[in-house]
Amino acid sequence: MANTEPINSFSAIRFRSTMKAIMKHIHLLSTLSLVVGLAAAFLPRATRGHDEESIDRRTHLIATHNAQARQTDFTARREQLRGLAELTAGYEREPLRMQQFSQATSIDQLRRCAEPWTLLRIHINPESRVKLAVVSPPVSLTVGDKSRFLLEVFNEAGIEAPLRIRAIDRSQPGTVDAPWCSVEILETGHTSVALTGEQREWKLVEICCKEVGFREIHFSADAGQGTQDLGFRATADLLIKCLPRTQAP
């Protein structure tokens, strides 16, 4: 009988070598799969992180640009309002108040600075109804002189239409203009009769009394047909003393 032990030994050795090679390849494949899996898990996160960082950077740049634009717009409005205030009656008697314009950093501060020269305030609600109120009435007016004051507009409706104000003679039926008083909104280099649609703006209004004595001025305002408040709050009364030129302060 032939001796098969060397053949069996050789086959066993070959078998073990083959198995080691296979196990080595399996280990390499497992390691490679693990690396690929980790890469697949972490690379999207890194990409998302980069994208989020880019978005954050762009958002910051946009916010910075918008803030600068708002500041530029506010500065322009502040100078516009100051220019209007310089055209009003008695502004030269308020030098400290005028200096405060340059220190104002918000619309509310501008309102407070402008109040000494603001005669009337108009509120246009979201339904475009107009309400009128007296803010800082003058002590007296000089007959024949054209006195100028600020008119503040709070335009919640954002409408863009000509603003109209009238002095009504209450002694006459209907809405007849008072013959002894004229009032109008002026066109200037700073503003116009038309509303701009801005929520807050100021106009320049001019009043001229033609008769001496205590007079009650009945103001009426509107921004087009149908804008007067249904409760007749688009009117305001002002009792003023009209002095002759010889008694003017």
Q: What are the extents of the domains in the chain? A: 7-83, 117-247
Beta pairing partners, 205: 149, 185
> What angle (nearest 5°) sits at the alpha carbon of residue 6, between those of residues 4 and 8?
70
pLDDT, one tens digit per residue, over 128-186 is 889 999 999 988 899 999 999 999 999 999 999 999 999 988 777 778 898 989 999 99
Binned at pLDDT 50, 70 and 90, residue 203 comes out as very high
Predicted confidence at residue 24, as pLDDT, reads 64
Convert the pLDDT of each residue in 91-106 to its tens digit: 666 677 777 888 888 8
What's the pLDDT at 82? 86
**Average pLDDT estimate for 212-240:** 79
By CB atoms closer than 10 A (0-12, 13-18, 19+), residue 126 is: exposed
What percent of the chain clears pLDDT 90, i.e. is strictly above it?
33
Q: Where are the alpha helices (DSSP H) in the chain?
A: 5-85, 95-100, 107-114
CATH of domain 117-247: 2.60.40
- When the pLDDT of each residue in the chain is averaged and rounded to a whole number, the result is 78
Pairing relationship of beta strands 118-124 and 146-155 according to DSSP bridges: parallel
pLDDT at 8 over 90: no
Mean pLDDT, residues 195-216: 92
* Residue 128 phi, psi (nearest 5): 70, 25
Q: Looking at residue 139, what is its pLDDT? A: 84
What span, in angstroms and rounded, lies between the C-alpha atoms of 160 and 116?
27
In sequence order, the β-bridge partners of residue 30 are none
Q: What's the average model confidence in pLDDT over 36-51?
A: 56
Which pLDDT does position 176 carry in this prediction?
A: 86
- State residue 223's pLDDT score: 86
The answer to whether the beta carbons of residues 104 and 113 sit under 8 Å apart is yes
Q: Which residue has the higher pLDDT, 69 or 239?
A: 239
> pTM of the full predicted structure?
0.69
DSSP character string of 161-229: -B-EEEEE-TTSSSSPBPTTEEEEEPP-SS--SB--S-SEEEEEEEEEE-S-EEEEEEEEEESSTT-B-
Contacts of 144 (CB under 8 A, 6+ apart): 208, 209, 210, 245
**How much is the pLDDT for 2?**
46
pLDDT surpassing 70 at residue 1: no
Cβ distance 242 to 215 under 8 Å?
yes
